[in-house]
Amino acid sequence: MNTEEEFEKKIHILINKLRVGLYDEVIIDAKKLLKISKNQIIINILSLAYQGNQDYESSIKLLKLALKTNPKNIFFLNNIGLSYFKNNELKNAEYYYKRAIEINPNYLNVLNNYGQLKKEQDQFDEAIEFFKKALATNNDNLETNYNLAVIYQQVGDYENAIKYFERSIEINPKFTKSDHSISLLIKYTENNKHFISMKEKISNNNLNNSQILELNFALAKAYEDIKDYKNSFENTIKANLLMKNITKYKIEQDEKLFKEIIDLFNEKNFTPADYNKTKVIFILGMPRSGTSLVEQIVSSHHAVFGGGELTYLNLLVNEKITNNSEIFYRSNNIFNNLQKEYMSMMSNKNKNFLNFTDKSPLNFRWIGFIINMFPNSKIIHCKRNKIDVCWSNFKNKFEGALNFSNDLQDLKKYYQLYENLMQFWEKKFPNKIYNLEHEELINNSEKTIKNLINFCDLDWDKNCLKHHENKRAIKTVSFIQARKPIYKEKVKNSFLYDKYLDELK
């Protein structure tokens, strides 16, 4: 084997390691190879390995250096844009995407990434335009078809969403993520073609566990539609068992975190940040407690922008506090600094509203930090029947870190952790938290909504009673329910599975 063949073999090994997530090994091996050759493929592989380890600063530093000698390398420009995007520096990401587009207007990866950036900025029409440009370049690209389907789903165009989900399955029948997405958009009958195809597909021995669990969740929904609750429950169990095996979640990690939070606020009194002219309305609670519906109601107000499930607070708390407790204790201006960083991140949305919502349910963990970061914030705590909440968590597949939802015992323990922490916050910060009962919202909606808007210190806006007409995008599992008028549920969903839920009860 000659030297060139050996080098190509090493690059091939690097790519395979990158695909399976062996990022540390890739970084070590790629650095060794770069000493031999400043090959652009190795530089890009190393940058992607840094991204895989969430070390975006190292990826950016590497690519900036590479761009000095090759400023028109579209692969470098795309990857540095992606690093900035993943680091929530959207303006910098857009700068590099624009440079790449100027060099090659048909570069598929940049068009896809630019579309994702526009979606993150809530500029949905522009995002769709970028994805369609990417499809014009290559109609058979799975990622583009899927991205376009997702954005149509979020803006409520379900016909187009199904069209592009189906197209992604045509491209790759094993892409069962789209099967699951379709299942959320249609009502099944026993003879439904998609239902039949999923049952045939799941018997395919060539599917991996991630592909199978998507089908299990989808089939659970289909069986529920045809009132076959036994098969629905069995598929839900199978899906969650596979998820649990993949995530390796341990409840002890959250038990430790919740204890540390309580200890921190028992031990220390903090100096709150200055009042910020922008009012943030935090909508939080257990996932599936009605947070999406409440945000849809509040953001229907003419003076409120719906921010959706923002990740900013979680990123800041983990980066500046959880992982840097010594700095946190020593700093006198920590909450002023955190407030500025949060608002800087929010500026990526390009909105000038004086009121906006942050609807990340698990922000209930950070209530003490919220009150100190934003003294003029409003905190709405959504509450719902605990069995309904836990069952709804278990039966749904989430994108993100809700790994406690894949095991009934974990769910039970996590719910108890949540209840204990909320009791602690209520005692620590009396009159700061508005408790909104989901059942009260359903059964006495007009009065409850008026009280809610009054708590937010907003003038009354009758649009809040017509939340289902709100055209804003919804990026959560509740995208269908939140677009419907409020109606009294005839039968609680958990009641349909009552005989299977003894372990939870």
> What's the pLDDT tens digit per position in 324-374?
555 555 556 788 889 998 998 888 775 667 899 999 999 999 999 999 999
**pTM as predicted:** 0.86
* 176-190, 194-208, 315-329, 460-474: range with lowest mean pLDDT: 315-329
Cβ neighbours of residue 39 under 8 Å, at least 6 residues apart?
Answer: 7, 11, 33
State the DSSP code for 92: H
User: How many Å apart are CA 109 and CA 99, to the nearest integer?
Assistant: 13
484 phi-psi bin (left φ>0, alpha ψ -120 to 50, beta other) = beta
**Band of residue 422 on the pLDDT scale cut at 50, 70, 90:** very high
Residue 327: the pLDDT is: 53
Triad 223, 225, 231: Cα angle to 5°: 20
Tokens found for residue 280: 């943030």
**Band of residue 318 on the pLDDT scale cut at 50, 70, 90:** confident
Residue 201 has pLDDT above 80, yes or no: yes
Helix (H, G, I), strand (E, B) or coil at 2: coil
Cβ neighbours of residue 145 under 8 Å, at least 6 residues apart?
Answer: 135, 164, 165, 167, 168, 171
Residue 14: the pLDDT is: 87
Residue 476 has pLDDT above 80, yes or no: no
Residue 4 has pLDDT above 90, yes or no: no
Residues 30, 46 contacting (CB under 8 angstroms):
yes
**Band of residue 35 on the pLDDT scale cut at 50, 70, 90:** confident
User: How many Å apart are CA 342 and CA 314, to the nearest integer?
Assistant: 10
Residue 486: the pLDDT is: 65
**Band of residue 88 on the pLDDT scale cut at 50, 70, 90:** confident
What's phi and psi for 435, nearest 5 deg? -90, 115
Total Cβ atoms within 10 A of residue 316:
20
Residues 46, 29 contacting (CB under 8 angstroms):
no
For the segment 64-83, what is each residue's pLDDT rounded down to a tens digit? 999 999 999 999 999 999 99
Average pLDDT, stretch 213-226?
Answer: 97
Average pLDDT, stretch 386-411?
Answer: 90
Tokens found for residue 186: 């249609």
Helix (H, G, I), strand (E, B) or coil at 240: helix
Residue 329: the pLDDT is: 55
* 4-13, 124-133, 352-361: range with lowest mean pLDDT: 4-13
Total Cβ atoms within 10 A of residue 476:
21
The whole-chain average pLDDT of the chain stands at: 89
Tell me the DSSP string of 133-166.
Answer: HHHHH-TT-HHHHHHHHHHHHHTT-HHHHHHHHH
- Of 2-11, 96-105, 201-210, 266-275, the range with the highest mean pLDDT is 96-105
Report which of residues 205 and 105 the model is more confident about: 105
Residue 1: the pLDDT is: 47
**Band of residue 477 on the pLDDT scale cut at 50, 70, 90:** low
User: How many Å apart are CA 481 and CA 475, to the nearest integer?
Assistant: 12
Q: Where in the chain is the domain with CATH 3.40.50.300?
A: 271-500
Residues 116, 108 contacting (CB under 8 angstroms):
no
* 61-70, 212-221, 325-334, 388-397: range with lowest mean pLDDT: 325-334
State the DSSP code for 285: E
User: How many Å apart are CA 165 and CA 162, to the nearest integer?
Assistant: 5
Residue 490: the pLDDT is: 46
Report, at the CATH architecture level, how domain 271-500 is classified: 3-Layer(aba) Sandwich (3.40)
Residue 42 has pLDDT above 50, yes or no: yes
Exposed, middle or buried: residue 384 (CB in 10 Å: 0-12, 13-18, 19+)?
buried
